[in-house]
């Protein structure tokens, strides 16, 4: 049985997407209305192990694919030479912000920090899009910073959770967007998912939880995903989010990541359960 969450498996997924006639665009491209036809928006949240992101960026460049990498400010993610190398490969760089969590809900300090770090990342790339970090152990949702401020006042054109993953059907032709994320080291990890969810606003004001869609397809592993793509599915728009620290060909690192993910899944499942009780 093939081993999942290796760079080899990731390369196979990209090839399957290309063979299923998908084009690739960055989130910045989508915001600029450049995405057309049958396409996938490929996003990477660089939470930890920045070197893994460079390995993924190189694979994508070899396959003539551009994607979006969102970097946190923490040292595990913020590695200047790696950020610069990924930008030089032609990929988009964005800020994976968590300012409200860092400052425990203090919006004044959070926005000052946000502006400073946005300027910092603009050393490497003319950052025009941002994406929140879920901060699963924090009670603060980093997106709530925009209840007080407007990120578009800072030369930004998009944030996936506001501009793509939560929209009214009559506003975008991408109303049939299907969102896949490797949260919890699987493609159907809804029960471990705290904030990385796709909610689509309908005209009726009902909410469809789009993160349920992969589970309905039984896409648990990357190889399930690849098999689905081989059918040339009638699904023209995808967004795929990966966390590059999960993808490695180093067996020791792979085992450590597997163990740590099982531990994190146990904690996150408890958080999700307690959150549902409080609601």
**CA–CA gap between residue 191 and residue 273 (Å, rounded):** 9
Residue 58 lies in a domain: yes
Digit-coded pLDDT (tens) for 179-228: 999 988 999 887 665 545 555 443 333 333 444 444 446 699 999 999 99
Residue 69 lies in a domain: yes
Give Cα separations from 268 to 47, 72, 197, 203 (angstroms). Answer: 16, 20, 14, 32
Residue 32 lies in a domain: yes
pTM of the model: 0.87
Bridge partners, residue 45, by sequence: 70
Q: What is the CATH number of the domain that holds 252?
A: 3.20.20
Instruction: Dig out the tokens for 179 from the structure.
Output: 């969102």
Residue 1 lies in a domain: no
Q: What are phi and psi of 159, to 5 degrees?
A: -140, 120
Q: What is the mean pLDDT of each run of 10 residues along the chain (279 residues)?
A: 94 98 98 96 97 98 98 98 98 98 98 98 98 90 97 98 69 68 88 54 37 57 96 94 96 93 72 48
Residue 196 lies in a domain: yes
Range of the domain at 193: 7-278
Residue 154 lies in a domain: yes
Residue 114 lies in a domain: yes
**CA–CA gap between residue 140 and residue 145 (Å, rounded):** 10
Instruction: Dig out the tokens for 246 from the structure.
Output: 């999960």
CB 184 within 8 A of CB 272: no
Residue 2 lies in a domain: no
- Total domains in the chain come to 1
């Amino acid at each position: 049985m093939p081993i999942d969450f290796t760079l080899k498996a990731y390369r196979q997924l990209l090839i399957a997407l290309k063979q299923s006639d998908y084009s690739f665009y960055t989130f910045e491209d989508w915001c600029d209305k450049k995405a057309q036809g049958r396409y996938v928006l490929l996003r990477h949240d660089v939470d930890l192990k920045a070197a893994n992101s460079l390995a993924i960026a190189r694979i994508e460049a070899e396959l003539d694919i551009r994607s979006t990498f969102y970097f946190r400010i923490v040292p595990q993610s913020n590695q200047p030479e790696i950020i610069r190398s990924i930008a030089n490969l032609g990929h988009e760089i964005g800020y994976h912000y968590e300012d409200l969590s860092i400052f425990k809900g203090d919006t004044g300090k959070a926005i000052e920090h946000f502006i400073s770090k946005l300027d910092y990342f603009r050393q490497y790339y003319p950052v025009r899009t941002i994406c929140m970090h879920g901060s699963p152990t924090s009670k603060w949702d980093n997106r709530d910073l925009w209840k007080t401020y407007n990120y578009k006042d800072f030369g930004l054109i998009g944030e996936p959770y506001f501009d793509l993953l939560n929209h009214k059907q009559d506003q975008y032709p991408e109303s049939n967007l299907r969102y896949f994320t490797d949260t919890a080291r699987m493609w159907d990890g809804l029960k471990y998912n705290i904030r990385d969810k796709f909610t689509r606003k309908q005209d009726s004001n009902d909410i469809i939880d789009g993160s349920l869609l992969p589970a309905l397809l039984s896409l648990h592993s990357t190889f399930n995903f690849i098999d689905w793509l081989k059918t040339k599915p009638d699904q023209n728009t995808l967004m795929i989010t990966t966390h590059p620290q999960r993808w490695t060909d180093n067996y020791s690192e792979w085992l450590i990541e597997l163990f740590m993910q099982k531990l994190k899944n146990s904690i996150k499942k408890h958080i999700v359960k307690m959150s549902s009780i409080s609601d």
